[in-house]
């Protein structure tokens, strides 16, 4: 099993490399650099050339990429010394965890931006996933156990219904109804501030009603779609499992119904559910783009969308990489969960 | 045309046939770490017009033998001569043309008919593929075939799911007959059927054999049914044929210990005789075909085994009168 | 395994109505009330999609398209009636009476009309993405599963690799790139590259053809030579036409000539392949060279002859479609992966069935086995999966439009409408409600239809 995890992790390295290369080349290939076009007030050509020289945008593509990946000191020692002499920040390279400077926010690095925005997004995302699991699995289980009853029909229908409402639609509606009309929740912003516990969890002192009030609507907007998906899947797979012979055997030997469901049926029915954890994480990531935008939460998703508009390429590349790592870790977790749930799968 | 010494005409001659399924490791660079020896050096002949029974436990490679003869699996080694043509070296168009002369009847009548095709299209497919008959002629030929296997000719537009297992197997027989082949491999054609239906299908096969002079390779694990239908019987164990002889000879005077054990397990419809005879219970399991024992394949379970059995593979030889046996103790 | 069942008599069978499995499925689907309702709703959406305006017939009259179902054009701004609530009336500057059933937006555009026009984007994306992913996934998965062995292994490794890719983010980046390209306009084409491709193709083609002439018997060899020279001749004609007649001939004549020559090319090749001259008798290497070279050669000829810049052409078409083409490409490209996995799994399970072996044993060709035996059996689950994936495509479009990477304004898409109007939701809620409702209802209908289809095609799941 350890060997398997190590091998899978190694397998992700080429994926991450491909993502970096693809993103880098694509962003650099966009006609007109990030500084040649600046809205209404275009900069004079000389200034543009100076800035481009500062960020080494005048280098050939392969050299830029090598410098991004490995750092200036390895790629071009002379340029590295020169940067230091001019009190500029040379690239230390992705391998040493440097995501480069932001083009738009002078003086800020991509690392700074990620450090301030990622915790907020992580809190939002984790709470949404938790909500999805807490609603989805019980709802699906109850629907399956009471198949073809009124509860089942209601659960099934609302699952399809919520799966059909994209967060683009749900978020404005939630704001309109619960924040603007009923005034139950605040319209915008997030309730915690750094420093965070373990780097991303809110401090206990911040976990008060205000925090929950701020979090309620965005978490709901992000989580319901997922909850609906999980409920549908749980119901379907549990229905299949409880028809299996070993469940009948368990019943025949007089086990309590609750024990049968919890001990025998539920774990096996979770196998297909585990497989959607990967897409789920992807959904959380893209969901945050919209939810953070609409609810005005200063998270990484909002920043990503803004940096696209700003053509802040280092931020785009850096954040893309962070997301890729998250998704890759998510996929690995799916595989491990899968192995834990289904011992028949052998990893050799 | 090859003539055998006893004057019967040889239709199919199998020489040293081998079918190994490779076991591979690795992803992009695959390396073979071993092979499942499903059929391992098998030789026999099938005479025109006869029924050769092929019996053995499940997993002994009898179905694979049938499929490899028909080139549904390409052999790993050895030759299959159909009349004088070596099928093992044929490819593409020439092989496709040879397929007209040899057909197969499958075990599972539920899996062997495409659920999305009408009975007419299923039976007519061989005609279409080989351009024998199209349009109205094809339809008429299909109806003729349906009548031949005892089905209502009006069934042409029906789908397989409307029929019972026995009826489906008749459809499979009609498909096999469509191209008027010489040789048909029957791969356990009755073992998936109700006992009451089995006799009907076997009788149909016998009638058709008499009518068209068909040659059958009849694969089965039911010894009494094989005794009923076959002229000669071959017994297979772990990828090899251990004994091959005339039906009467085999059932009356089995030579190979495996055959003896197998026949002792056949129930006799007489309780007194049944209780009195000596039954040989084999111990242990069949070894894995990926890792057969050295020497005789049966040595691990043979109660008569002597030292040589564990070291040398016994040759498959004629012990007199066309009775072939592969055992060191039988000379 | 004995199967115990009563044998139906001939009369029993003949008394039943003749029903194919397909007909059975349709019958079951029609008994599914929610699915039928969804189909009716989607039929309505399609009607709106087609008849929102008369652009389908407008090219006959040559006039600009006029709205049919929609009351007004999607981009008709009315400055006399900005942000008016539903049910308002107004008089335009030209003195026309205006009625806005669902109100207007911040430019005074009719929300109802824009919502109705919005079906065009959403449904187009749904259809295009579904078609692309279905076709690519089916072909890829079927080949992978059917051929098996090492080919399968490599093909599936590629899929695994792509599966780990954060695709939606890649789409966002691609769209960023495409949008920037479209803003900038494309740079000048590089005929040098085309010439290089053409020359390389010609060289490879020549190598393949000469290899073939050595390997084939004299009759077939002369056929190969004839084909080769015929194609060279066509190529020269192509170039001459492209370079000397391009400007002097009317566009229509010029284009149709080029198309004719292209068809002649393909026709020759098809004839060649049809008669199986190359496949049967030649070594694999020269065969491959021959076909690859031929392909490159023809592509280069086409590019040179038509003298279009591919990127520029795509961008131009994209602009005409309001930015939808690139969206199709981007969304279609990411969704074939799941489809190909499903197709492969299905093929693998059916490939082992005895009816496929039976087809082999009667001598059916691989194409026939795939087309007649495999695809009809595996297509059901694929269709269900595709229907259930359509809401995802529509979401993706809305999402991309929302963050400004979808269609170009003023083309109305539900995503764009919401993104433009949600900041003002407190004062003008109707501007957001109409597109939001349309989006939700449409995805709801696709979800219900997908569920119904699944029950109909695989009745075992329901019980």
pLDDT digits (tens, 9 = 90+) for C208-256: 677 666 666 666 667 777 777 777 777 676 666 655 554 555 555 656 6
Using the beta-carbon criterion (under 8 Å), do C7 and B164 form an inter-chain contact?
yes
CB-CB contact of C21 with B159 (8 Å): yes
CB atoms within 10 A of CB C35: 22
What digits encode the pLDDT tens for the residues A288-343? 888 888 888 888 888 888 888 777 888 888 888 888 888 878 777 777 777 777 66
Mutate to test the interface with B, among C354, C367, C368 (most CBs of B within 10 A): C354
Q: With CA atoms as reference, report the closest residue to C277 among C206, C222, C229.
A: C222
Report the pLDDT value the prediction gives residue B270, as an integer from 0 to 100. 76
Mutate to test the interface with B, among C7, C287, C358 (most CBs of B within 10 A): C358
Distance CA(B97)–CA(B91), nearest Å, equals 10
Using the beta-carbon criterion (under 8 Å), do A168 and C170 form an inter-chain contact?
no
Enter the tokens of residue B40.
């391992």
Report the pLDDT value the prediction gives residue C283, as an integer from 0 to 100. 60
Indicate if the pLDDT at residue A68 is higher than 70.
yes
Indicate if the pLDDT at residue A221 is higher than 80.
yes
CA atoms within 13 A on the CB side of C284: 0
Indicate if the pLDDT at residue B57 is higher than 60.
yes
In chain B, DSSP assigns E strands to 10-25, 31-47, 51-55, 77-82, 85-86, 102-105, 183-187, 215-220, 232-237, 240-246, 317-318, 324-325
CB atoms within 10 A of CB B84: 9
CB-CB contact of B147 with B170 (8 Å): no
Q: For chain A, what is the mean pLDDT?
A: 78
Indicate if the pLDDT at residue A191 is higher than 70.
no
CB atoms within 10 A of CB A207: 14
Enter the tokens of residue C77.
């701004």
When pLDDT is cut at 50, 70 and 90, the band that residue B81 belongs to is: very high
Q: B314 or C407: which carries more pLDDT confidence? A: B314
Q: C135 or B283: which carries more pLDDT confidence? A: C135
The model scores a pTM over 0.95: no
Sign of CA dihedral A220, A222, A225, A230: negative
CB-CB contact of C3 with B165 (8 Å): yes
First to last CA, chain B: 32
Distance CA(C151)–CA(C143), nearest Å, equals 9
Using the beta-carbon criterion (under 8 Å), do C426 and A166 form an inter-chain contact?
no
Choice among A7-11, A224-228, C27-31 with the minimum mean pLDDT: A7-11
Indicate if the pLDDT at residue B82 is higher than 80.
yes
Looking at CA atoms only, how far is residue C50 from chain B in angstroms? 34
Tell me which chains share at least 3 CB pairs under 8 Å with chain B. Answer: C
**Helix, strand or coil for residue A111?**
helix
Nearest-by-CA chain C residue for B119: C20
| Closest in C13, C353, C359 to B158, CB measured | C13
Report the pLDDT value the prediction gives residue C249, as an integer from 0 to 100. 54
The conformational region for residue B89 under phi > 0 = left, psi -120 to 50 = alpha, else beta, is alpha
Report the pLDDT value the prediction gives residue C248, as an integer from 0 to 100. 53
**Segment 178-237 of chain B within 8 Å of chain C by CB:** 178-179, 191-195, 197
Looking at CA atoms only, how far is residue A82 from chain C in angstroms? 32
Report the pLDDT value the prediction gives residue C187, as an integer from 0 to 100. 46
When pLDDT is cut at 50, 70 and 90, the band that residue B209 belongs to is: very high
Report the pLDDT value the prediction gives residue C461, as an integer from 0 to 100. 45
Q: B282 or C358: which carries more pLDDT confidence? A: C358
Cis ω before A195 (30° cut-off from 0): yes
**Segment 363-392 of chain C within 8 Å of chain A by CB:** 391
Domain ranges of chain B: 116-179
Nearest-by-CA chain B residue for C363: B96
Parts of chain C with a pLDDT under 70: 1-11, 13-18, 55-63, 164-165, 181-205, 207-208, 211-221, 235, 237-259, 271-287, 289, 293, 296-323, 458-463
Report the pLDDT value the prediction gives residue B219, as an integer from 0 to 100. 93
- Across the range A9-36, mean pLDDT stands at 75
- Chain A contact for C398 (CB, 8 A cutoff): yes
- Whole-complex ipTM: 0.85
Burial of A286 (0-12, 13-18, 19+ CB in 10 A): buried
- Give the CA-trace dihedral at C435, C436, C442, C443, to 10 degrees: 140
Mutate to test the interface with C, among B73, B91, B117 (most CBs of C within 10 A): B117
Looking at CA atoms only, how far is residue B85 from chain C in angstroms? 17
Distance CA(A240)–CA(A91), nearest Å, equals 55
- Chain B contact for C20 (CB, 8 A cutoff): yes
Report the pLDDT value the prediction gives residue B1, as an integer from 0 to 100. 42
Mutate to test the interface with C, among B90, B114, B167, B217 (most CBs of C within 10 A): B114
Looking at CA atoms only, how far is residue C12 from chain B in angstroms? 10
CB-CB contact of A179 with A187 (8 Å): yes
Distance CA(B208)–CA(B73), nearest Å, equals 27
Distance CA(B286)–CA(B295), nearest Å, equals 15
Using the beta-carbon criterion (under 8 Å), do B99 and C2 form an inter-chain contact?
no
- Across the range A193-218, mean pLDDT stands at 70
Q: For chain B, what is the mean pLDDT?
A: 85
Using the beta-carbon criterion (under 8 Å), do C363 and B129 form an inter-chain contact?
yes
- Across the range A193-211, mean pLDDT stands at 65
| Closest in C2, C6, C372 to B193, CB measured | C2
Report the pLDDT value the prediction gives residue C309, as an integer from 0 to 100. 45
All residues of chain A having their beta carbon less than 8 Å from the beta carbon of residue C403 are: 289-290, 293, 305, 308
Q: B70 or A344: which carries more pLDDT confidence? A: B70
- Chain B contact for C250 (CB, 8 A cutoff): no
| Closest in C1, C21, C355 to B192, CB measured | C1
| Burial C411-441, CB ≥16 within 10 A → b, else e | bbbbbbbbbbbbeebeebbbbbbbbbebbbb
Q: Which domains does chain A have, with CATH numbers?
A: 2-108 (no CATH), 111-341 (1.10.3720.10)
Q: Highest mean pLDDT range out of A63-67, B184-188, B317-321?
A: B184-188
Cis ω before B320 (30° cut-off from 0): no
């Amino acid at each position: 099993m350890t060997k398997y995890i190590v091998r899978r992790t190694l397998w992700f390295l080429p994926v991450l490399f491909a993502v970096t290369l693809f993103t880098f080349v694509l962003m650099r290939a966009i006609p007109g650099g990030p500084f040649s076009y600046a809205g209404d007030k275009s900069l004079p050509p000389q200034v543009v050339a100076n800035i481009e020289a500062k960020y080494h945008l005048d280098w050939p593509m392969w050299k830029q990429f090598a410098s991004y990946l490995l750092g200036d000191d390895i790629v071009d020692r002379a340029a590295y010394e020169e940067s230091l002499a001019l009190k500029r920040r040379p690239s230390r390279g992705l391998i040493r965890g440097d995501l480069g400077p932001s083009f738009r926010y002078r003086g800020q690095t991509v690392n700074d931006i990620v450090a301030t925005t990622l915790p907020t997004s992580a809190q939002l995302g984790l709470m949404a996933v938790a909500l999805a699991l807490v609603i989805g699995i019980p709802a699906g289980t109850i629907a399956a156990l009471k198949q073809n009853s009124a509860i089942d029909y209601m659960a099934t229908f609302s699952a399809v219904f919520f799966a059909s409402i994209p967060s683009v639609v749900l978020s404005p509606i939630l704001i309109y109804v619960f924040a603007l009309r009923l005034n139950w929740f605040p319209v915008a912003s997030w309730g915690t501030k750094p420093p965070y516990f373990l780097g991303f969890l809110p401090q206990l002192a911040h976990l008060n009603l205000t925090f929950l009030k701020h979090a309620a609507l965005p978490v709901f907007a992000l989580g319901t779609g997922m909850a609906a998906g999980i409920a549908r899947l749980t119901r379907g797979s549990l229905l299949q499992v409880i028809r299996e012979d070993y469940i009948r055997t368990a019943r025949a030997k007089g086990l309590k119904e609750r024990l049968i469901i919890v001990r025998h049926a539920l774990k096996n029915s979770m196998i297909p559910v585990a497989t959607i954890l990967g897409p789920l994480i992807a959904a959380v990531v893209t969901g945050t783009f919209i939810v953070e935008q609409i609810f005005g939460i200063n998270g990484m998703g909002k920043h990503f969308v803004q940096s696209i508009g700003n053509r802040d390429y280092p931020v785009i590349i850096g954040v893309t990489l962070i997301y890729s790592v998250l998704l890759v870790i998510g996929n690995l977790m799916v595989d491990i969960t899968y192995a834990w749930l289904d011992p028949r799968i052998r990893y050799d | 045309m090859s003539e055998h010494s006893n004057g019967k005409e040889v239709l199919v001659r199998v020489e040293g046939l081998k079918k190994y399924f490779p076991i591979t490791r690795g992803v992009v660079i695959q390396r073979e770490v071993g092979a499942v020896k499903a059929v391992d050096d098998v030789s026999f002949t099938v005479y025109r017009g006869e029924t050769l029974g092929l019996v053995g436990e499940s997993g002994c490679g009898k179905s694979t033998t049938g499929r490899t003869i028909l080139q549904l699996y390409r052999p790993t080694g050895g030759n299959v001569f159909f009349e004088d043509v070596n099928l093992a070296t044929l490819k593409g168009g020439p092989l496709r043309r040879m397929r007209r002369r040899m057909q197969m009847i499958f075990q599972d009548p539920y899996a062997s008919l495409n659920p999305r095709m009408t009975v007419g299209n299923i039976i007519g497919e061989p005609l279409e593929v080989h351009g024998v008959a199209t349009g109205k002629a094809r339809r008429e030929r299909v109806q003729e075939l349906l009548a031949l296997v005892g089905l209502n000719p009006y069934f042409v537009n029906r789908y397989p799911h409307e029929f019972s297992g026995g009826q489906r197997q008749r459809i499979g027989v009609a498909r096999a007959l469509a191209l008027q082949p010489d040789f048909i491999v029957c791969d356990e054609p009755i073992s998936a059927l109700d006992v009451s239906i089995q006799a009907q299908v076997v009788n149909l096969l016998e009638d058709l054999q008499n009518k068209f002079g068909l040659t059958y390779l009849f694969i089965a694990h039911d010894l009494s049914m094989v005794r009923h239908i076959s002229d000669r019987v071959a017994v297979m164990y772990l990828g090899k044929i251990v004994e091959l002889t005339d039906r009467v000879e085999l059932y009356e005077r089995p030579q190979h210990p495996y055959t003896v054990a197998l026949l002792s397990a056949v129930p006799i419809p007489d309780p007194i005789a049944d209780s009195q005879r000596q039954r040989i219970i084999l111990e242990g399991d069949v070894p894995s075909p990926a890792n057969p024992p050295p020497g005789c394949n049966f040595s691990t379970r043979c109660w008569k085994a002597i030292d040589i059995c564990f070291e040398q593979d016994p040759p498959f030889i004629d012990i007199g009168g066309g009775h072939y046996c592969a055992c060191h103790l039988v000379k | 395994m004995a199967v115990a069942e009563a044998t139906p008599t001939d009369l029993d069978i003949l008394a039943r109505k003749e029903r194919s499995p397909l007909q059975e499925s349709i019958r079951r689907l029609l008994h599914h009330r929610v699915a039928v309702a969804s189909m009716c709703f989607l039929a309505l959406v399609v009607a709106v999609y087609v008849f929102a305006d008369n652009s389908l017939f407008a090219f006959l009259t040559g006039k600009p398209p006029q709205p049919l179902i929609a009351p007004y054009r999607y981009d008709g701004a009315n400055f006399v009636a900005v942000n008016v609530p539903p049910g308002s009336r107004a008089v335009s500057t030209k003195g026309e009476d205006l009625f806005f059933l669902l109100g207007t937006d911040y430019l005074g555009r009719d929300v109802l009309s824009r919502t109705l026009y919005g079906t065009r984007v959403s449904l187009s994306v749904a259809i295009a993405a579904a078609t692309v992913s279905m076709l690519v996934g089916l072909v890829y998965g079927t080949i992978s599963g059917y051929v098996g062995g090492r080919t399968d292994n490599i093909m599936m490794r590629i899929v695994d690799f792509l599966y780990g890719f954060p695709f939606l983010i890649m789409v966002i980046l691609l769209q960023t790139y495409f949008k920037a390209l479209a803003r900038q306009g494309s740079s000048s084409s590089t005929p040098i590259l085309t010439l290089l491709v053409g020359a390389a193709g010609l060289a490879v083609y020549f190598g393949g053809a000469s290899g073939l002439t050595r390997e084939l018997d004299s009759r077939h060899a002369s056929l190969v030579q004839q084909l080769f020279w015929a194609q060279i001749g066509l190529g020269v004609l192509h170039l001459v036409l492209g370079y000397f007649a391009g400007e002097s001939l009317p566009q229509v004549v010029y284009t149709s000539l080029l198309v004719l020559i292209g068809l002649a090319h393909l026709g020759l090749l098809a004839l060649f392949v049809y008669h199986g001259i190359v496949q049967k008798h030649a070594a694999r290497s020269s065969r491959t060279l021959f076909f690859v070279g031929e392909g490159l050669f023809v592509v280069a000829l086409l590019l040179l002859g038509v003298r279009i810049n591919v990127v520029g052409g795509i961008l131009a078409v994209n602009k005409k479609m309001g930015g939808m083409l690139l969206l199709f490409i981007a969304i279609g490209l990411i969704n074939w992966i799941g489809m190909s996995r499903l197709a492969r799994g299905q093929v693998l399970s059916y490939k082992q069935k005895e009816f496929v072996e039976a087809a082999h044993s009667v001598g059916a060709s691989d194409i026939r086995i795939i087309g007649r035996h495999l695809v009809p059996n595996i297509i059901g689950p694929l269709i269900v999966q595709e229907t259930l994936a359509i809401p995802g495509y529509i979401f993706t479009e809305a999402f991309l439009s929302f963050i400004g990477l979808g269609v170009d304004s003023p083309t109305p898409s539900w995503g764009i409408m919401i993104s433009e109007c949600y900041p003002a939701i407190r004062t003008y809620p109707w501007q957001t409600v109409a597109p939001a409702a349309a989006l939700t209802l449409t995805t709801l209908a696709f979800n219900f239809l997908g569920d119904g289809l699944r029950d109909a095609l695989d009745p075992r799941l329901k019980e």
